[in-house]
Structure 1
């Protein structure tokens, strides 16, 4: 059979029954579901559609062509995986999922895409007329990318991982900006195709982003610590006349928390080196003093 599958082809309508038309292309007959066709086709007419082999191993042609085709990339959703084969991706065909081979997936199976993750793939037809998914490489992502703007600094973005390396994870945002996540900016390594919620920590002159999966300082600490830190940040001189020796009633009146909660909050902030405690007062460290400004999204 000449290369027909995974492409939009044209053929002649040669027969029909109650459910299907039959379209012949270069000696191969494809089934066409009549449910797709609004206006009846005439025998001998030409029909153009996307050709594939369905899950029952019947040759089928459809008017509803997916974005992912041979030499055309489209986004598909992972529906399941098989350790000995790879992952199955739904590209929009009613009765056929496309396999991305395990040879193209990470060596560590825990980093394989899971159900609901998305992959940008094209199709290839092998020597046995089977269709496989081909992952888009870095050149493809470069071709579809849009440059990031400087005002994105410290903003939140949704991105999807497309390349996993020892040096870090490459991603593309929902708005097609390319980004990079260094291992120091994540708790665990993302899966291939996983949707990620990240923060912009750098915008390069070439329009690419450095991203972090770690929470902002005020998001990473407990409520009492965050409240205490905010009080210091909003004080005139970065100082509060309280310490772990302060009167419990004064602490309760000012902060609305117990002395035990207050001491735990101080301990957390001291450990994170965001404050110091001396001369009977709490003092904001300079790095924490700028947090409030740097954590605000750019206008």
Structure 2
């Protein structure tokens, strides 16, 4: 008895007959259509061909000779190519028809949904009606792909994609196969599922995972803040009504940094003999 054909699998089928639109393929019990646009070459009646099965836009089981990026028994990083609030997001799985990741599998807030260009680690699944959907990888499936971090990776810059969000922060799978965690306090903005993010390794844990931060190292932050203040002075005729005695709210409103960060940066400029403070003002030293 032949196995029942189902979407999401690559299977070998025989060309049963030719038609105006393509080829009817069969396993001896069921037929599926391989449209001419889905055939990579001309086929002859009676030959056997490997095809991937999927549902077309009308829900009919169809075949393609295009090689999918993912199947029912595999996982892959798939790129988001579209989104519909009432349905979910659509992913490119390597054939002409995209696959849907249902909104039931996505975070509640829409601003945490992936956008076009983001990537998700997915497999495929069939619902009770035999329809094909994307299926996010489980935590264990992510772990199975991961490698343990080494101590010398501390302070390195890594790039990865957010694969899970929770109340405390975001979990990231990096390009060098590390699992990292970014606490909310270490984010410079709110992240979304599937987003690519560049981070710094702040701690290598005993379990081989890493803690990550989107924030620059303090020394780098001092330099950036000092440069911002220096440019501000140059753009305001070499003077400003802000000093290390200024009100924290005034500093926050003008420079979007804390008073402590402002004082550190200003101290750096004073030490480098680039600025001076007099009478409640800060001046460039020419």
Alignment of structure 1 residues 80-229 onto 2, 5 Å: 80-94=82-96, 96-221=97-222, 225-226=226-227
Cα distance in 2 for residues equivalent to 1:119 and 1:223: 33
Q: Deviations over 1:134-180 (max 9, x none)?
A: 10011000001112222111111111000111122111001111111
Which SS does the other structure have where 1:151 is aligned? helix
SS in structure 2 of the partner of residue 193 of structure 1: coil
TM-score, with structure 1 as normaliser = 0.73
Instruction: List per-residue Cα deviations over 1:30-56 (Å, max 9, x = no partner).
Output: 222446656643312222221111224
RMSD: 3.2
Runs in 1 of length 4+ with deviation above 6 angstroms? 265-270
Distance 1:218 1:227, change over 3 A: farther
* C-alpha contact (below 8 Å) 1:100/1:134 kept by paired residues: yes
Displacement of 1:188 in angstroms is 2.7
**Greater displacement, 161-170 / 212-221:** 212-221
CA distance in 2, matches of 1:161, 1:210: 13
Match for 2:260 among 271, 276, 281? 271
**SS in structure 2 of the partner of residue 103 of structure 1:** helix
| Shift in CA distance, 19/282, structure 1 to aligned 2, threshold 3 Å | same
What is the CA–CA distance in structure 1 between the aligned matches of 2:169 and 2:228, rounded to whole Å? Answer: 34
- Residue pair 2:38, 2:63 contacting (<8 A) in 1 also: no
Tell me which of 21, 24, 29 is aligned to 1:22. 24
> Match for 2:79 among 70, 77, 80?
77
TM-score (norm 2): 0.76
| CA distance in 1: counterparts of 2:225 and 2:109, whole angstroms | 40
- Confirm or deny: 8 A CA contact 1:105 1:112 kept in the other structure: yes
Q: Number of aligned pairs?
A: 254
